[in-house]
Each structure stands twice: as structure tokens, then as C-alpha cells.
Amino acid sequence: MNNSRFSIAIHILTLLHQEKGALVSSDYLAGSININPVLVRKELSNLAKAGLVTSKEGKNGGSYLAKAAEKITLDEVYKVVRQDYLLGQNKNTPNPQCPVGKQINGHLNTLYDKTEQVLIQSLATQTLADFSRLFD
Amino acid sequence: MNNSRFSIAIHILTLLHQEKGALVSSDYLAGSININPVLVRKELSNLAKAGLVTSKEGKNGGSYLAKAAEKITLDEVYKVVRQDYLLGQNKNTPNPQCPVGKQINGHLNTLYDKTEQVLIQSLATQTLADFSRLFD
DNA sequence: TCATTCTGTAATTATTTTTATTACAGTACA
DNA sequence: TGTACTGTAATAAAAATAATTACAGAATGA
């Protein structure tokens, strides 16, 4: 994940929490994050699917947290934005003629799975409320 | 890290270990990994700077492990290839007018540092020898 | 009712990052 | 002294990410 989706998602959620349930527009969020509003709306859509935010369409619409910040752990956010293994896999398939090349992806995946579990467990110990408190 | 440098570095080191100290050429390594030899040589150069491999120039040259696989922990490899925070930062600077935007990068960095330490500690429990043993 | 202000999403373009390629100097060997 | 390597810079190609444009649809309220 070399993209900034985790940062963006955390930023969105922090703002929504600070706004204490008020409807916040994607334009406002995009202005604080300093990215394109369309990206914000896409991420809001992902966060909504995961049950972290709710959006309301139409005039005076916007988004708010779908559950208490104390109940949102950071691993939930990670899972929303996760796409590839953290440590990055070779896109080319290694040489299947080579005894190492033939097996390495399997073994790397095992390692990556284990490592990711550790990361997730660490993120799971922190809530959005904890993070948001840093801004007070 | 959306690139595949960690995978590549592990692949290189595993092959060198399997070859038990013999000089292995970058072309051979590249053939097993299925990437361009120049990339392999660059990574070998980074691994050499970190004291993990040694390279020998000239005819019949190549590379070999600079220390025992039992003494190489995977966090060392991670540190060689590490470039950005794992969880990815927004490239644009958030709006400094916004109370959240103004502070968020600092707080995210703290979170990222902590998270990365957890990852490193986990990788530190495993050696190249452990990983390489999976291929026997 | 209908103009306004939002969300949702698709399609396209631009930018940045990553990877591959080309080129060539320098080293070691036999 | 030719051959087979490493080392590295420069460039090009490909892939991933982000921005933009465009527009349909929803909710509001004048």
C-alpha cells in the first residue's frame, strides 16, 4: 500500500468524530485533507460498506459516524483500505524451473499473513476515540 | 511499500543461502526471480551496504552471504528495503487552517512509528535460516 | 414544482512511482 | 587481451495512483 488511503480514511473519521454527528460534506472533508472530493466520496462509500459511516444524499446531505468512536478500532479502518500484502509481492511470476522460484511465493505469503496478523492485532488495540483525543 | 523490493531481497538471500557460499551471478538471480538483472544488482548493492552480502567483481564474480543465515533476521532485510511508512501518507499537505488538518500528520507519524516497531519486532524473531529451511 | 445542493459513480486524463532497458566504464581472470 | 562479470547512470516503458470532468439521482425548501 503505497497509496494514502489509510491516512485519508483516518482523516475522514477523525473529522466526522470532531463534528459530533453533524452531517459533513465531502467537499468540506476534501478541503481539510487537500485531495479531490471524488476520492473522499469513494472512501466514504467503502467506509459505509464496512459500517463505519453513514451518508445522506441530497441537499444538506453529508456523512457522520455510524457508530461510536470508542467502538471503532483502527484495524477496522485498515481492513477497509487494505488491498495488497503490506510487504509487497513481485508482480512477475518467479521461474518455476528453479526450486526456490517455484516455492517462494507460497512461503512469502505465509510470512506475510503472519506479519499482517501482528499488525492488525496492534491496530486493534487503538480506537478512533483514542486517536481523536490527541487533537484536544 | 507497493513495490516488490522486500520479496526480491528475500528471494536473493534465499538463493544465496541455498548455494552455500558459491559465487552467484546477478543474471542467475534475475532469472530465478524473473526480473531485470540491473534491479538485482542494485538490491545486492543495498544488501552489501547493510553487511548482508558480499559481491565480487570481474570474471567468475558474483555474490554470497556476508554472514551466516542464522544471524540474518528478517527485520534487517526490511530495514534495507524500507522507504516510506508502511501505511502510506498523503502526499498533499492537509489544510493548515483546519484544526485537524494542521495536526494530523504528526499524530499519524506517531501511530506509524509505533506500528512499524511492532512489525519490526515480529520480523526480528525470524532468521533467513528459518525461512530458507522451508525449501528443504 | 423546481432550482439548489448534495451524493454516487463512471469515464477520462494527468501525474507519480515502479520496473525495464540500454549503455558503458571498471574489475578480475585465464 | 578477450571474456564474463559488477556497478551505475540515464532513459524509456509500464503500472499504479490521483485528479478531473461529467452527469444521474436524491433531498430540501423557497
User: For B58-110, what is each residue's pLDDT tens digit?
Assistant: 999 999 999 999 999 999 999 999 998 889 788 899 999 999 999 999 999 99
Nearest CA in chain A to B16: A100
The C1' atom of D13 and the CA atom of B98 lie apart, in whole Å, by 41
Between the two ends of chain A, the Cα-to-Cα distance in Å is: 30
DSSP A85-111: -TT---SSPP-TTSHHHHHHHHHHHHH
Q: Domain count of chain B?
A: 1
Q: Please report, for the domain that includes residue B125, its CATH number.
A: 1.10.10.10
pLDDT in tens, A2-50: 579 999 999 999 999 999 999 999 999 999 999 999 999 999 999 999 9
Quote the DSSP letter at residue B24: B
The C1' atom of D21 and the CA atom of B107 lie apart, in whole Å, by 34
Strand D at less than 7 A from CB of A56: yes
Which domain, by its residues, includes B55? Answer: 5-133
Nearest CA in chain A to B131: A107
